[in-house]
Structure 1
Amino acid sequence: MIDNEEYGYRRTTLRVLLIVTIFAASFFAVNNWIAGFNLFAVIEGIVAAFWCVILVIAKSTKHLKRWSFVYLCTFYFLVIYGIMITTFKAGLFSWLFIFPILSYLLLGLKAGTWITFISVSGGLAVLGNMVLVNNHGMHWIVMGNVGFTLATIWSMVYVYESKREYIFNHLREQARKDPLTGLLNVKALNDTLADTLKTAQRHSYPVTLVYIDINDFKLINDKLGHQKGNEILLSVANIITELTRVEDYAFRYGGDEFCIIFPNCVHEQVRQTFGVRLAERVNLSLNQLTMSIGYAQTGPSEFCSPDSLIHKADKNMYIIKSIFKSGDSFNEWKEINEAS
């Protein structure tokens, strides 16, 4: 949801800028034709027509950043070319002031910084050459004002975009996390599993999904209260985090259920390493607490859909849970899991 809002914000910005600059380019094309700058007028007209095409594309394109980059490049070319062929008094250099703003608004922090550096450096170099050729002392004062103004605008926009991007990334991360355990949430599971399976298909390696349910959790909540239940969920989540690899993904699926994605791991490998260790740690640390664990593997040759893999792991978990009886010992639980 937050990613869509970010994308929509940049899309709207690009379309508004296109509308404004299309009218500006058209107006100055007529003006420059009358003033005798025929070639420049024709170029402005062509660019304005090209921007009309981008305006139509920008409404629904999946490559918004690329088209924003193309727009900025054509805009920059138009300004620099205009500065080079017209007089200093024409004031075309004033368009340079908005390039830091446009670059960060449309491309974000990293790409915006590079585009700003190139556009500001190039613009100042062209202006400096004009001043050197004309050799007018007053122009150096104007040149200094232009340079410091550009540096000020660049600094302010950089600070703003840095803070905005930090807040955006923080909110996006929070939207993907379960507030109690700090693990990823069910929305992140759907997105992450889909991406993991795509990568696994490209590289032909297996993916194993583990579905975990805490046994008798409702009984624990009823007897000891929800606060104790939350403490148990947090402890289980911490143990899962300690036992999983950096490349694995752990999720709280909801209630007392957890899911873990193991890229490049087969079913038996996950069961014998992670599953056994997790069960033993939880049983030892949390007053003989037991869990029902279901495993499902897809790949490396044939792959199922994310929903099918989740359903299969969930089904296997419930098979274990249906055999387990309240009050069974940990050794009895191990026998059930080893026999499954």
Structure 2
Amino acid sequence: MSEGLESSQQHKRLVLKVLLWTTVAGGVVFAGLNVGRGIWLLAAGECVFVLFVLLVLRIVDRTTHFTLVTVAYLIPFFTLMVLALLLPRTSFTVFAWIQMIPIICYLLLGLRGGFWMSVVFVSLGVAAFSYRYSGEEYLLSLMMLANIWISSMAITMFSHIYERSRLANEARLIELASTDNLTGLANRMKLSEVLERERSHALRDNKPLSLVMLDVDFFKRVNDQFGHNGGDRALCHLAEVLRSRLRDTDLLCRLGGEEFAVLLPGATLEQAAELANDLRRHLAAHPLDIESTQQIMTFSAGVATLGEDGQSLDELMQTADRRMYEAKGAGRDQVVAAGQQYPLTAPVLQTP
């Protein structure tokens, strides 16, 4: 998910770079034309702005304050457009750039920033056009100004609606990408994202963070006896039962197959082991009703904690996974945490 957000940021940087180079080319051309027509104030403003844009181009790829740089560029850019509409002897075709403002703003600033920047400068641009080009023929002027106002507001609204729909679709795609289709639980990608966030909080606030990995015992027997549909029902049943015993801050994930993980912010190794044991007992006390029979489900689990068992998701999962197989080797239906020892058999010889 973080890669997707980074990709979105890179897209905005590319859009801004294209706009910056367009501004440089346009600024040079129009500055020359305005010098030729004697519009010195506007030509001077365009020359100064071109120099400023060239400086922005030097930092746009590496700045960590992208939004601030973008706003610093857009405000003088749009102000020059409004000024060009107010000055005598300039062409009314400058207004074409005013109607580009909503598209530019929403592309670079997103929903909220794009909305306010668009409302302010489109309103100023339309007001400047109305002041400059309203004529003596009242009805003709009224018709022209109505067209300008309505078309400008329509472009702003269309841009806003499109950006809102795009953000909603993006959020939905991210949700789908981070959710297990069968159980509705978070998947490994979501686990990785949440663990990184909770790890930062734990290190900053000096609080514990633990991870439980669990694997359904003898799940192959369920599949053999009730088919894959029965196996799917069993996994969904487990997800529902375990989720009902967890806090809102805990994260239950399906990693794949019959393997699950539980991220427990604020839980020490001992607390996580106790909770895993409680979940194990709770699951066994709520058998699965399937084909007029009650199928008791159990799991084997291993526990790891941030710090002594690792710092990254991979390290914590490796430790918790090893302990989970210790639990399986010791007879299944139990939880293994640090300090617990069992006479182990090779996990590869066990058929889950």
Common topology (TM > 0.5): yes
Partner of 1:304: 311
Q: Is the 8 A contact 1:279 1:290 kept in 2?
A: yes
Structure 1 residue 151: deviation in Å?
A: 0.8
Q: How many residues align?
A: 330
Distance 1:83 1:119 in 2: 12
- Higher share in helix: 1
Call closer, same or farther: CA 1:320–1:40 in 2, change over 3 Å: same
For 1:221-260, what aligned pairs fall within 5 Å after superposition? 221-260=223-262
AA of the residue aligned to 2:167: E
Partner of 2:111: 109
Distance 2:338 2:237 in 1: 25
Partner of 1:289: 297
Secondary structure of the residue aligned to 2:181 is coil
AA of the residue aligned to 1:193: L
Distance 2:310 2:38 in 1: 66
Distance 2:173 2:334 in 1: 41
Structure 1: tracts of 5 or more residues without a match: 326-332
Pick which of 26-35 and 44-53 moved more.
44-53
Distance 1:336 1:124 in 2: 70
Identical-pair percentage: 28
Call closer, same or farther: CA 1:228–1:260 in 2, change over 3 Å: same
Structure 1 length-normalised TM: 0.85
Structure 1 residue 334: deviation in Å?
A: 5.5
Q: Is the 8 A contact 1:79 1:92 kept in 2?
A: yes
AA of the residue aligned to 1:223: Q
Distance 2:334 2:300 in 1: 10
For 1:43-62, what aligned pairs fall within 5 Å after superposition? 43-59=45-61, 61=63
Q: Is the 8 A contact 1:253 1:259 kept in 2?
A: yes
Distance 2:136 2:228 in 1: 80
For 1:117-266, what aligned pairs fall within 5 Å after superposition? 117-127=119-129, 130=132, 137=138, 139=141, 141-266=143-268
AA of the residue aligned to 1:316: R
Distance 1:129 1:220 in 2: 78
Partner of 2:277: 276
Q: Deviation string for 1:142-192 (max 9, x for gaps)? A: 333221111111121122222222111111111111111111111222222
Secondary structure of the residue aligned to 1:148 is helix
Structure 2 length-normalised TM: 0.82
Which structure's relative contact order is higher, taking Cα pairs within 8 Å and 6+ residues apart?
Answer: 1
AA of the residue aligned to 1:68: T
Secondary structure of the residue aligned to 1:120 is helix
Partner of 2:323: 316
Q: Deviation string for 1:229-283 (max 9, x for gaps)? A: 11111111122322222222221112111112111222222333x3233212211
Q: Is the 8 A contact 1:197 1:306 kept in 2?
A: no
Call closer, same or farther: CA 1:306–1:74 in 2, change over 3 Å: farther
Structure 2: tracts of 5 or more residues without a match: 288-294, 341-352
Distance 1:53 1:260 in 2: 49
Secondary structure of the residue aligned to 1:183 is coil
RMSD, aligned CA: 3.0
Structure 1 residue 104: deviation in Å?
A: 1.1
Distance 2:198 2:155 in 1: 42
Q: Is the 8 A contact 2:95 2:125 kept in 1?
A: yes
Distance 1:14 1:260 in 2: 42
Distance 1:311 1:240 in 2: 22
Partner of 2:79: 77
Structure 1 residue 46: deviation in Å?
A: 2.5
Distance 1:224 1:61 in 2: 58
Q: Is the 8 A contact 1:83 1:93 kept in 2?
A: yes
